[in-house]
Amino acid sequence: MDRYRFILSGGGTGGHIYPAIAIANELKRRHTNAEFLFVGAKDKMEMEKVPQAGYKIEGLWISGIQRKLTLKNLMFPLKLISSLLRARKIVKQFKPDVAIGTGGFASGPLLRMAASAGIPCVLQEQNSFAGITNKLLSGKAKKICVAYDGMERFFPKEKIVKTGNPIRMDLVNLKKDNKEALSFFGLNPNRKTILILGGSLGARRINQLIERELDFFDAMGLQVLWQCGKLYFEEYRKYNSETVKVLAFVNRMDFAYTAADVIISRAGAGSVSELCLVGKPVLFIPSPNVAEDHQTQNAKALVTKDAGIMLKEMELDSTFEERFSQLMNSEEMQQTLGANIRKLAMPKATEHIVDEIEKLLK
């Protein structure tokens, strides 16, 4: 039996961590004797999430560059040198067959050192606008797995493989019948349901919008399934009622998606990939506070294919009610958006990424 060794790095946010874990799980399914090691940034969420998923992780002393001059920025060269030396030691000791990077600060030093040790490297880029770490590493990688068209703007064309983004397997076969899902959340089967998603921590601007529009939704005869995020739950739980369900976190995303008629969401890469699979009409409100404004780019990639509606945060006060009413009052528009977003789904993304990794093992 082959005792392959895989080293993976991706972190800082769930958008980088969960794809790395999904890839590891698929590799493990195919190669039961394989060994795995993750490398992350010492004080980031991967140090908690990766062990929860059953994998070992080593931490590097690394962080990103702030946009303004700070003490952290002055420390950056020191952190980078320290991380490169630590990464070199980890690679030397672990002796991986392949190194896999899904973006985030820690994957920079790790893949850099793996490549210089002659280990084949695979990058996975989730967004339609490539992250800085992956752009810097692209020259060293053997393969770059992407989720959007037009990525040759950022990467060498001959290395790009369009695979899609890894997604949770429980979403691949969503039930059509929503009775069980509605009763799970205590929702009324006679009302249409709007699902609000602001990411696991929540999105302040989306929460402020929903709070302001609750009467508007009620007047339209709608009910609201509102994932406000754990940072905001105490502030918004008071709105829990027959027609408004406020949750810090959604444990059954499959039920939430099944119950929803229309979805209001951020446009992180993982969310967008899931929403394509779900195939319901979506109003995207991208976060303007992320690197390279990639959420706006992700949403635009869908809007141009008539597969979603986008409103920028600064447009919410002036146009939200008008655009939302337009969507809710047109069954045709809802069906068109749902059908078009579903066409973009890539449910076998994880398998295709692992197929590319396996080619490098031969």
200 is an annotated ligand-binding site residue: yes
> Does the pLDDT of residue 169 top 80, yes or no?
no
Give the closest residue to 185 by CA, choosing from 232, 245, 234: 245
CATH number at residue 323: 3.40.50.2000
15 is an annotated ligand-binding site residue: yes
335 is an annotated ligand-binding site residue: no
pLDDT of residue 66: 55
Please count the structural domains in the chain: 2
> Does the pLDDT of residue 61 top 90, yes or no?
no
Q: Which residue has the higher pLDDT, 104 or 140?
A: 140
- The first and second tokens of residue 197, run together, are 């998603």
pLDDT tier at 202, thresholds 50, 70, 90: confident
Average confidence (pLDDT) over 130-152: 93
Q: Are residues 146 and 189 in the same domain?
A: no
Q: Are residues 125 and 149 in the same domain?
A: yes
Q: Are residues 134 and 253 in the same domain?
A: no
Q: 195 near 263, Cβ under 8 Å?
A: yes
Q: Are residues 259 and 156 in the same domain?
A: no
Q: Are residues 119 and 241 in the same domain?
A: no
Give the closest residue to 20 by CA, choosing from 30, 11, 32: 11
Q: Are residues 180 and 320 in the same domain?
A: yes
Average confidence (pLDDT) over 264-277: 92
295 is an annotated ligand-binding site residue: yes
Q: Are residues 297 and 309 in the same domain?
A: yes
168 is an annotated ligand-binding site residue: yes
127 is an annotated ligand-binding site residue: yes
pLDDT of residue 75: 77
Q: Are residues 93 and 154 in the same domain?
A: yes
Give the tens place of pLDDT for each residue, 70-120.
Answer: 666 777 778 888 888 899 999 999 999 999 999 888 899 999 999 999 999
pLDDT tier at 237, thresholds 50, 70, 90: very high
Tell me which range, 42-51, 226-235, 287-296, is most confidently predicted by mean pLDDT: 226-235
Give the domain range for residue 197.
170-343
Q: Are residues 187 and 227 in the same domain?
A: yes
3 is an annotated ligand-binding site residue: no
